[in-house]
Amino acid sequence: MNILPALATTSDALAAEKTRLDVIGQNIANAHTTRGPDGNVYQRRVVTFEAQLRQAIGIDGGSLVSGPRVAAITTDATPGEAVFKPSHPHADAEGMVRMPNVNLSHEMVDLITASRSYEANLSVVRTARQMAQRALQMGR
């Protein structure tokens, strides 16, 4: 058994949430990118998590204890809105420019959710540390 219980699970979660924050940051940064390296308009990326099984963490072995990992970073294929901007270098023959499908308010909500999840996991570490300290002070 670990001195800090559940450290592996929590660190998996922190890494996964960090990736999500990175991707949300990328979406916000590219909210106005009308041409990417592939020549197309930027499409927002979505992170999905999946649980992974960790065997034999429990006292008895074979317990159902698992941490999340990033399953995939997928591209949201929903078309972004087309704006009439004839002066824009990326405008088509009718003067329409296809904008990225990034919705800033959606990204902000996701950003806050991800950072709150990150904080919740940090408080798990804090509690685990307190518990380990108590255990170390036994008999003092």
Partner 1 sequence: MIDHLLASENYGVAKKLLDAAALRHEALATNIANVETAGFKRVDLAPDFARQLADFSARPGMDTIEAIHPKVAEDRLTQAMRPDGNNVQVDRELLEMNRNALEYEFLTQYASDSIKRLKSAITGRIQ
Q: Could you list the residues that contact partner 1 (CB under 8 A)?
A: 1, 5-6, 9-10, 12-13, 16-17, 20, 48-51, 57-60, 63-68, 113-114, 116-117, 120-121, 123-124, 127-128, 130-131, 134-135, 137-140
Closer Cβ to partner 1, 6 or 28, answer by number: 6
For residues 138 and 140, give the distance between their C-alpha atoms in angstroms, rounded to a whole number.
Answer: 6
Beta bridge partners of 96: 84
Indicate the residue among 27 and 34 with the shorter CB distance to partner 1.
27
Least Cβ distance, residue 81 to partner 1 (angstroms): 26
Contacts 24+ apart (CB under 8 A), 37-42: 41/80, 41/90, 41/98, 41/99, 41/100, 42/100, 42/102
**Minimum CB–partner distance for residue 87 and partner 1 (Å):** 42
Find the shortest distance in angstroms from Cβ 116 to partner 1: 8
C-beta of residue 19 within 8 angstroms of C-beta of residue 70: yes
Cβ distance 96 to 83 under 8 Å?
Answer: yes
Q: How far is the CB of 99 from partner 1 (least distance, A)?
A: 28
Give the nearer residue to partner 1 in terms of CB position, either 22 or 98.
22
Helix boundaries (H) for 1-103: 7-29
